[in-house]
Amino acid sequence: MVSLKPDLETRLAEDHHQAIKLWLRLLTCTNLITAEIRTRLREEFDTTLPRFDLLAQLERHPEGLRMGELSRRMMVTTGNVTGITDQLEAEGLVRREVDLQDRRSFTVKLTPQGRKVFGEMARVHEGWVIEFFSGLSASERDGLFALLGKLKTHLNTKEAQP
Amino acid sequence: MVSLKPDLETRLAEDHHQAIKLWLRLLTCTNLITAEIRTRLREEFDTTLPRFDLLAQLERHPEGLRMGELSRRMMVTTGNVTGITDQLEAEGLVRREVDLQDRRSFTVKLTPQGRKVFGEMARVHEGWVIEFFSGLSASERDGLFALLGKLKTHLNTKEAQP
DNA sequence: TCTAAATATTTTAAGTCTAAATAAAAATTA
DNA sequence: TAATTTTTATTTAGACTTAAAATATTTAGA
């Protein structure tokens, strides 16, 4: 006969398998969205996701950000930020300002042109994101937001105490 | 006085902003987990995430997979799969088998050594993933899994009809 | 059959990313 | 103060990634 309540060992194995399935599904959703954003940014604005991300960080911080802070917020290495900033500076969208307090540091800011160019991209980008999540109702989006918030907190507290 | 029910325009703007916040949180969670897995794979097994991913796909398909199928499942280009397969083949973990039906194709399979090496990594990796999601209760994980499933379905159906 | 179109993989060029090494400046400590 | 450590940014080497072009083979159509 088929048992309605699997024994503990089986149940555990299923939980384990379930965690992997959950992780793969999370990864798939993120990959599908980033791939689509990447393609559209290239086709419509001839730019890349890392460039867009850096501009987005600066838009949120008109006072400017240091390289290390950009690196933390973008979750990439500082070496990576150096390269992307070089490009955007060459394109005239951002500029490094010397920090009088600390001569090792720069403060990176949007140029007026950078603010203008990013503004248009951000408007369109927001429409894309709304479109991607439009398959969920508002309350489902709230639920997803809350669950991811709890997950994020757990991940960050774990990191603090390895 | 403060209105309890914002007008339609404000409400819409908030929804928009909320979609962006949801997307950034989804991206952050995925980035935190992949970064941690990447670090641990390097430290404990001296390997990389793409290599692990390719082996994982083959483990699930003992009959072997063609390059194009690996590419679709891993969500990367076929050119990319060529390079990773080259490495793993040089390390003796996978092998290309000629397809007698279609001489353009290869079937990629795990070697016995590849199966052995991956088995140990997969066991440890599963423990990591369980750890990452242990901040959520079983029912919360079920809820997250379901919401992501709905999101994934929406993303895939959209892709089909651009 | 012969040709054109489609398919499967590899190659190429350019860009992105990480980890580790380096250089310079600041902060700490002896 | 001088020496040491830490912080900040850059550089370097190597792996990964994509998009597009090239190659080889199969399939479909005239």
Q: What pLDDT is stored for residue B72 in this prediction?
A: 94
B159 pLDDT more than 60: no
Which of B57, B154, B35, B158 minimizes the C-alpha distance to B110?
B57
C-alpha span between B67 and B104 (Å, rounded)? 10
The pLDDT of residue A157: 84
Percent of chain B with pLDDT over 90: 83
> Quick check: B78 CB within 7 A of strand C?
yes
| Closest CA relative to residue A46, chosen from A81, A1, A93, A7 | A93
Instruction: Name the residue closest to the C1' of D8 by its CA.
Output: A104
Mutate to test the interface with B, among A132, A134, A142 (most CBs of B within 10 A): A132
In degrees and rounded to multiples of 5, residue A112 shows phi and psi of -55, -40
The pLDDT value recorded for residue B3 is 45
d(CA B145, CA B148): 5
Tell me which of B5 and A94 has the higher pLDDT: A94
Q: A155 and B132 in contact by Cβ < 8 A?
A: yes
* Predicted pLDDT at A3: 46
pLDDT at A4: 45
How many other C-beta atoms are found inside a 10 Å radius of the C-beta of residue B88? 22
Quick one: DSSP state of residue B106?
E
- Kindly state the DSSP code that residue A91 receives in the 8-state scheme: T
* Averaged pLDDT for residues B61-82: 95
pLDDT digits (tens, 9 = 90+) for B11-29: 566 666 889 999 999 999 9
Residue B38 has pLDDT above 60, yes or no: yes
pLDDT in the model for residue A9:
57
Answer whether B106's CB lies under 8 Å from B97's CB.
Answer: yes
**pLDDT of A52-106, one tens digit each?**
999 999 999 999 999 999 999 999 999 999 999 999 999 999 999 998 889 999 9
> d(Cα B88, Cα B57) in Å, to the nearest integer?
13
pLDDT per position as a tens digit, B91-130:
999 999 998 889 999 999 999 999 999 999 999 999 999 9
Please identify residues in chain B, positions 13-52, with a C-beta within 7 angstroms of any atom of strand C.
35, 38-39, 42
Let me know: does A127 contact A37? Beta carbons within 8 Å: no
Instruction: Give me the residue from A15, A34, A150 closest to B138, CB to CB.
Output: A15
- Residue A6 contacts by C-beta under 8 Å, 6 or more apart in sequence? A14
Alpha helices, DSSP H, located in chain A: 8-45, 49-60, 67-74, 78-90, 112-132, 138-160
Instruction: Please spell the DSSP secondary structure of B80-100, one letter per residue.
Output: HHHHHHHHHHHTTSEEEEE-S
The confidence score (pLDDT) of residue A134 equals 95
Give the per-residue pLDDT at A156. 87
Amino acid A161: pLDDT? 46
Q: What mean pLDDT comes out for the span B69-76?
A: 94
A51 CB contact with strand C at below 7 Å: yes
Q: What is the enclosing helix (H) or strand (E) of A108? A: strand A106-110
Residue among A16, A32, A151 with most chain B CBs within 10 A, to mutate: A151
Entry field: residues in chain A: 162
Which tokens go with A46?
A: 């001839």
Residue B117 CA to residue B142 CA, distance in Å, equals 31
Q: Verify if strand D has an atom below 7 Å from the CB of A81.
A: yes
**What does the pLDDT average to over A31-59?**
91
Distance CA B90, CA B96 (A): 11
Instruction: Using DSSP, state whether B94 is helix, strand or coil.
Output: strand
- The per-residue pLDDT of chain A, averaged, comes to 88
Give the C-alpha separation, B36 to B23, whole Å: 20
